[in-house]
Structure formats: structure tokens, C-alpha cells
Amino acid sequence: MAQTFLLIAWISLLFLLLGIPSNSENPTTRKPQPFGFLNHLQGCKKGENLAGLRELKEYLNKFGYLNYNSSKAHDNDDFDDFLEAAMKTYQANYNLKITGTLDSETLSKMVMPRCGVPDVVNGTSSMTKKKNRHHGHHHHSRKKFHTVSHYSFFRGYPRWPVGKTHLTYWFDLDTTHPDAIPAFVGAFDKWTLYSQYFTFEETLDYENSDIKIGFERGEHGDGNSFDGQGGVIAHAFAPTDGRFHCDADEFWSLGAIAGYYDLETVALHEIGHLIGLGHSSIEDAIMYPSIPSGVVKDLHDDDVRGIKALYNI
């Protein structure tokens, strides 16, 4: 179709202008995926010792399912009780059959590209417990949401201060080409429309901006390194931190293109974190942790209910 051809041509131009060398590669010849190590572990279960299980533990530790900190207790390839419990929590979060083993269905979820924000914080899995737990200020909406909603919040319910509804955002133009900016603007506009609470405006004032956006590679100073193509594709911080980073090594697009990640879809997700939402266990929700390439998503009713509950709108 002519429209498809024009879109692909536009995307190719965008990649060139972004100045991201890896994005000039053909996605069919992309590098091995960061989570690809999981594939040979399919079927492993408690009691086994298998090369690569320590990497599985590191994966689960990264996303909050294990809490090793600097301990060396995980520095082995043993499938122990702690790993089994972590697997069960992961399966519950993703609405999978709870087996405690790395079965094929669980594996298919774990290898998907995803947001870098943990699903579990300080031992609390908000993705599964949210339905029965509400912020104290939400008493008017508790009965309405408690049986149907799967949104979650960060531990401690960080929010923007009361009355702080107009947020400014700044782009690092050393890493973000202006032609990529409309995707972010479109995402901010959707949150404005559906939240009926927040408004957003671009600013050139770095020091006084509420939100700071940029494309980064590898270790970039926030303690959350990117891992190359695939794996973690973006992350953002809870209010009122305001940092929002996309992985510059990914193949980014405007729209649904096979092998590329839709920039506006990812921005919608990360803005949700910036204003206080955690991850949702509903796969159609924008706050679901994983996103395959070639997919465009919009805000879901669960996302909208979550932000309205958090701010008692």
C-alpha cells in the first residue's frame, strides 16, 4: 500500500536523522537478544543444577523477584527454594499457570522485550496484590475498582504534589533528534485527554523542567544500565524524579513496523511511571511490562482507572 510505503520511508529517514548507528542495521540481522540465554533453560525445575541458572537469578533479581543486593548467595547454578518461589510470583503476575518451573509459556513471557522498572519492589508484588489494596485517599472509589482493576502503584504511592497538574518536559537534543519528538508529544497529549487532570508542555529550561527525556546506551549514570538490542528497551522513574530514558540501541519506529518498537507506545508506558503508575497484569493495558516489536497500543481503561484512583480524580 502507498501509505505503508510512505511510513516505512519516513521511518528510515527518522532512523538516519536520529544518529543512532545501530538503528541503521537491518533488524533481521540484529544482535543476539539479552534475554536469549533463557531459551536453553526451558523445563528446568527445583533440585536441578544447570549452567545458566545464575543468569536466570540475575534476571529475576533485576526485576524484583529476588532480593540478593550484594550477596553472593545467588552466585551458583542451583534451582533452589528461593528461585522456585520467585518463579511462582512471576507466573502469578503474568497470569500464567503457577508451576514454579521454567515451562514454555513462562519462557515466552520472560524473553520478551520489556520496561526496566521492576515488577516487585522490596518484596511487594503490586501486580497481583493491587486488587485488594488501595491508597488511603481512594476510599470513594474502593468499591468501584477492587474486583476489576489490575493497575498498581509504586511502593509508598509517590505522586506529584496536590495542585501540581501542569508538568514540563525537556529533551536532551544531543541524543534525541527533533523528528522523534512528535511521538512523545502524542503520548503526553493522550495522557492529558484521558486523565482529565494532567497537562504537559515542552520547555528548554533543563534545570526547572519536571521531566527529562533522552536516548541512552549501556551504563548512563542512573544505576539502570541498558543492555543493547532487545531486553530492556526503556525505563522511567516514579514521581517526582522525572527521568525518562529510551535505549538508543533499539530499532524505533513511528507506527507498527515488524522488528521495530513504536516510540509513542513506549512513551505512553513510561509516562505512566512518571506520573505514578506501576505495572499492570492486564496484557492489553499500556502499563503491562512487556511489549513485542511491531505493536501499537493505546491507553486501556485499567490505565485510566489507575491514574484516577491515585489522584482521587
Instruction: Give the catalytic positions in this structure.
Output: 270
Distances (CA, A) of 65 to 1, 122, 131, 217: 45, 9, 19, 25
E strands in the chain = 114-115, 120-121, 124-125, 166-171, 199-202, 211-216, 232-236, 243-247, 252-253, 261-262
3-class DSSP assignment, residue 115: strand
* 279 assigned ligand-binding residue: yes
250 assigned to a ligand binding site: yes
Q: Which has the closest alpha carbon to 57: 44, 68, 49?
A: 68
Q: Consult the annotation and say whether 174 binds a ligand.
A: yes
**Cell digits of residue 53:** 541458572
User: Is 124 buried (19+), middle (13-18) or exposed (0-12) by CB count in 10 A?
Assistant: middle
**115 carries a ligand binding annotation:** yes
Confirm whether residue 166 is marked as ligand binding: no
Q: Is residue 177 part of an annotated ligand binding site?
A: no
The dihedrals phi and psi of 115, each to the nearest 5 degrees, come to -75, 150
179 is in an annotated binding site: no
Annotated binding residue 139: no
Instruction: Give DSSP secondary structure letters for 146-203.
Output: TTT----B-TT---PPTT--EEEEEE-TTTS-GGGHHHHHHHHHHHHHHHSS-EEEE-
| 134 annotated among ligand-binding-site residues | no
269 is in an annotated binding site: yes
Residue 99: asked if its preceding bond is cis (omega within 30°), the reply is: no
Q: How far apart are CA 20 and CA 251, in angstroms?
A: 9
Q: With H, G, I as helix, E, B as strand and everything else as coil, classify residue 83.
A: helix
Residue 210 marked ligand-binding: yes
How far apart are the C-alpha atoms of 90 and 119, rounded to whole Å? 9
Q: CA–CA distance from 166 to each of 24, 162, 191, 265, 278 (Å)? A: 37, 11, 12, 22, 21
Instruction: Burial-class residue 142 by CB neighbours within 10 Å (0-12, 13-18, 19+).
Output: exposed
Is 138 annotated in a binding site? The answer is no
Residues flagged as binding site for Zn(2+): 115, 220, 222, 235, 245, 269, 273, 279, 287
Residues flagged as binding site: 115, 174, 210, 220, 222, 227-228, 235, 245, 247, 250, 269, 273, 279, 287
